[in-house]
Amino acid sequence: MQASAMGESASGITNGFVGAVGDTPLIRLHGPSELTGCTILGKAEFMNPGGSVKDRAALGILLEAEQEGLLQPGGTIVEGTAGNTGIGLTHLCNARGYRALIVIPETQSAEKIGLLRSLGAEVRTVPAVPYRDPNNYVKLSGRIAEETPGAVWANQFDNLANRRAHYNSTGPEIWRQTAGGVDAWVAATGTGGTYAGVALYLKEQNPKVRCVLADPHGSGLYGWAKSGDLSISGSSITEGIGNSRVTANLEGAPIDDAVRIDDQSALDTIYGLLWQEGLFLGGSVGINVAAAVETARRLGPGHTIVTVLCDSGDRYRSRLYDGDWLAGMGLRQPQRFGLEAG
């Protein structure tokens, strides 16, 4: 897939939903930058037409399936997803004449599940079980695809079209927007596509770019990056990031360091972004930005760190922005001190 397929138009007119994907701005995060003496930039992926970074993976997977003749008019795309990839795929299916069948763990936010249904996807909610279980949502979606005539399994975790989409679009955009001045790339990973695609591209441009994997508790990737140990401890309320295995998309990606962020730190970060930057963002953004701040501290002042602002907080209002829900999870809702009313 060429970078020009994603959102680039000299006239400012895009070719439908597909043409509006990508070419998102980098936003300087003033609070984190001033705190560290670095320039911390967030790739504004919530500005994609489907509302998240996963629009890029969804488009890359769909275009390659079309190019390979796997997806025929009137066909069905089946995917197991924590929500955002399914949302992007459903938008694209509507735009290009396909059906979307989405398998999603019932533990995901009501906002994402409801949105998928509003968009017209056939949604099957399933119990959240580990990947080793044959009824894990990813494995189940693969079996459903096999059993559905005219269906293609998106398989975002192990379909390399995912990371190729970011290698061909997100990485070049970051390089161009920073005029090659990026010192570090920091991102959490679920499928591995965003982190790996960008890391591979940036390392080709400048091997000195530091690529840092961010990870929540309850995921094995931090231990794997540090010592090759994929064992899991703890848990996290974040959705769509962390993993208990190394996906095909993540395999072989450069990892220079890893940072693990707890849920309370992630919450403090996203509330700070709302109150100080005016940005209403999801939980994985808290992991990313907190890890970018820690990376800036490790590198020292004067560096440019880029991370990804994955999606809007609107998809998590009933959880991350609800004090009662947070208290039930043993977490403290950040309070807005020191700001004048009005």
What tens digit of pLDDT does each residue of 105-127 get? Answer: 999 999 999 999 999 999 999 99
Residue 126's SS3 state is strand
Q: Is 196 exposed, middle or buried (0-12, 13-18, 19+ CB in 10 A)?
A: buried
Determine the pLDDT at residue 4.
43
| pTM of the predicted structure, to 2 decimals | 0.94
Task: Report all structural domains of the chain as residue ranges with CATH numbers, in order of start.
Answer: 3-48+169-328 (3.40.50.1100), 54-153 (3.40.50.1100)
Q: Tell me the C-alpha distance between 325 and 338, whole Å.
A: 25
The catalytic residues are: 54
Phi-psi region of 192 (alpha: psi -120 to 50; beta: other; left: phi over 0): left
Burial bucket for residue 116 (CB in 10 Å: 0-12, 13-18, 19+): buried
Residues ≥6 apart with Cβ < 8 Å to 18: 5, 59, 92, 95, 96
| Chain centroid, CA 214 distance in Å | 12
Closest CA to 238 of 258, 255, 219: 219
pLDDT value of residue 11: 73
| Residue 124 to residue 110: CA distance in whole angstroms | 13
Q: CA–CA distance from 331 to each of 67, 107, 147, 232, 236 (Å)? A: 47, 18, 42, 20, 11
User: Residue 259's pLDDT is what?
Assistant: 98
Listed residue (245, 157, 247, 249) closest to 200, CA to CA: 249
Low-confidence ranges of the chain (pLDDT < 70): 1-10, 338-342
The pLDDT score that the predictor gives to residue 113 is: 95
DSSP 48: S
What pLDDT, on the 0 to 100 scale, is given for residue 338? 53
| pLDDT of amino acid 341 | 39
